[in-house]
């Protein structure tokens, strides 16, 4: 039963994660087009902080783990 719940949960989360990934891709593409149109010298390219990226990924993983634990415990986050 636990495996079935986890598979169902993972399957239900794939569209949401794909949506976020697609949004990130499109926004980076659009930002690149704007920078190219305005010239690279218009604004320096921001540097990414690997520590921040790791923290965001860890926080997102923790949220997904907590959400799965809630699903397994029978706690529903959807409101009627």
**Each residue's pLDDT tens digit, 19-43:** 999 998 999 899 889 888 887 655 6
User: How many distinct structural domains can be found in the chain?
Assistant: 1
Query: For the chain, what is the mean pLDDT?
Result: 85
Residue 65 confidence (pLDDT) above 70: yes
> Which string of b and e fits 14-41 if b means at least 16 CB within 10 Å?
eeeeeeeeeeeeeeeeeeeeeeeeeeee
Asked if residue 78 belongs to a domain, the reply is no
Residue 59 confidence (pLDDT) above 90: yes
Asked if residue 36 belongs to a domain, the reply is yes
The reported pLDDT for the residue numbered 77 is: 61
Asked if residue 77 belongs to a domain, the reply is no
Residue 17 confidence (pLDDT) above 70: yes
Residue 1 confidence (pLDDT) above 80: no
């Amino acid at each position: 039963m636990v495996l079935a719940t986890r598979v169902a949960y993972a399957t239900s989360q794939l569209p949401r994660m794909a949506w976020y990934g697609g949004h990130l891709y499109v926004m980076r593409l659009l930002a690149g087009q704007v920078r190219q149109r305005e010239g690279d010298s218009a604004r320096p390219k921001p540097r990414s902080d690997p520590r921040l990226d790791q923290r965001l990924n860890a926080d997102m993983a923790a949220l997904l783990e907590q959400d799965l634990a809630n699903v397994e415990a029978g706690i529903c986050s959807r409101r009627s």
